[in-house]
Amino acid sequence: MHIQGAAFKFEISLEEFGHRRRGSITSDQYERGHDYIFIAGEMHEHNVVIATLFEGREYGTGSAAGLASQVKSFFPNLWFGLFVGVTAGLPNLTKAQPLDIRLSGVLVAVSDGDNPGLVAYELGRETGTDGIQLIRKGHLPPNTEAAVISAIRSIKLRLRRNPQLFLQYYDKIKHEKHDYGKYSDPGQELDKLYELGDGGIEHLVSREKRPDLERTRVWYGSIGSGDKLIKDRRKRDELRDKFGINGLEMEAAGTMNHIPVGVIRGVCDYADEHQNQDWQPYAAAMAAAYAKAILLEILLKPQKTIQVICGIVSEIIDLIYLKLTLL
């Protein structure tokens, strides 16, 4: 099956979905300026739409907002969304209970009334004494769909007894090839965290190697969202300490006024000068595996059978292939 737009060509086989939907979107629905791709199908009795940008499209909260708006327009019966991709992790080893976030870890953020889920840290103002002060406290409506929150809570409890709960879905595709290589683990020896010591001198943090079953951990809490790519550990730590966030990403805040999304991100860097793309495929695979676990956890009620679930995948265009391979 081919989907073409401008110079972009995306190929996917019919068997990737349990049932591939036809005729969901017609060519005349695409107008000049529509830079989005939609693939519709069925996953475990859920009607699913996977949406992404054309390859080469600039990402950020603005692009994500445009994508979410078009999804809502094309699919008015939308039930909820899962925003899946990669993120920068913000470990904090100085806390009483260290936040030992590592590359390939999964960050999960939902808005449930008490927890802001997403902190739009750019919706603020710089002050001389307090740094950044949020104008709206970063609580971006609407709240995440209750079914998603319930599924995440259930998975959290079950992970204590079964660490392989969602990793089993990754195992099915870890040797699959994509345009950037494979989804295999780069190895813990390449997971390097740097901090600034006395005198502002950078040093490598010593961290004990984890057992294989504890290789990937899930962290629940708020994620910072903005248009700026942060590659500065001082700025990273300022945002982490100011807003109590576990990660930084560049799209999710743009969707929240359009779709009640749950945000699932795989950690691929530490928002510092050592960023590279080596960890993106593996981290994205972890996030996609967790997203599949959520969909399997949500049972359809009769009145929901005509609803549509939207998975918005960002950063790597091949993640569409990854998500569908996990079906």
Is the predicted pLDDT of residue 128 greater than 90, yes or no? Answer: no
**pLDDT tens for each residue of 80-89:** 888 888 999 9
**pLDDT tens for each residue of 286-311:** 998 999 899 889 876 554 544 555 55
State the average pLDDT for the chain: 74
The confidence score (pLDDT) of residue 69 equals 77
Give the CATH number of domain 2-325.
3.40.50.1580
Closest-CA residue to 35 (of 63, 61, 9, 10): 63
Mapped onto helix, strand or coil, the DSSP state of residue 202 is strand
60 or 209: which leads in pLDDT: 209
The confidence score (pLDDT) of residue 81 equals 83
The confidence score (pLDDT) of residue 287 equals 92
Q: How far apart are CA 233 and CA 239, in angstroms?
A: 10
- So where are the chain's domains? 2-325
Please report, in angstroms and rounded to a whole number, the separation of the first and last CA atoms in the chain. 17
Query: Of the segments 63-77, 125-139, 294-308, which one has the largest average pLDDT value?
Result: 63-77
Q: How far apart are CA 229 and CA 251, in angstroms?
A: 11
DSSP at 103: T
**Burial of 327 by CB count in 10 Å (0-12 exposed, 13-18 middle, 19+ buried)?**
middle
Report, as an integer, the average pLDDT of 199-208: 87
The confidence score (pLDDT) of residue 2 equals 26
Report, as an integer, the average pLDDT of 165-179: 84
Tokens of 73: 């327009």
65 or 277: which leads in pLDDT: 277
**Burial of 20 by CB count in 10 Å (0-12 exposed, 13-18 middle, 19+ buried)?**
middle
Query: What's the Cα-to-Cα distance from 1 to each of 10, 17, 157, 323, rounded to whole Å?
Result: 8, 12, 39, 16
- The DSSP secondary structure of 269-320, one letter per residue, reads E-SSTT--STTHHHHHHHHHHHHHHHHHHPPPPGGGTT-EEEEEE-S-TTHH
Count the neighbouring beta carbons within 10 Å of the beta carbon of residue 35: 20
Closest-CA residue to 35 (of 2, 81, 1, 66): 66
**Burial of 231 by CB count in 10 Å (0-12 exposed, 13-18 middle, 19+ buried)?**
middle
The confidence score (pLDDT) of residue 108 equals 95
Which amino acid would we find at residue 297? E
Which amino acid would we find at residue 307? Q
Sign of dihedral through CA atoms 30, 140, 268, 182? negative
Report, as an integer, the average pLDDT of 207-228: 89
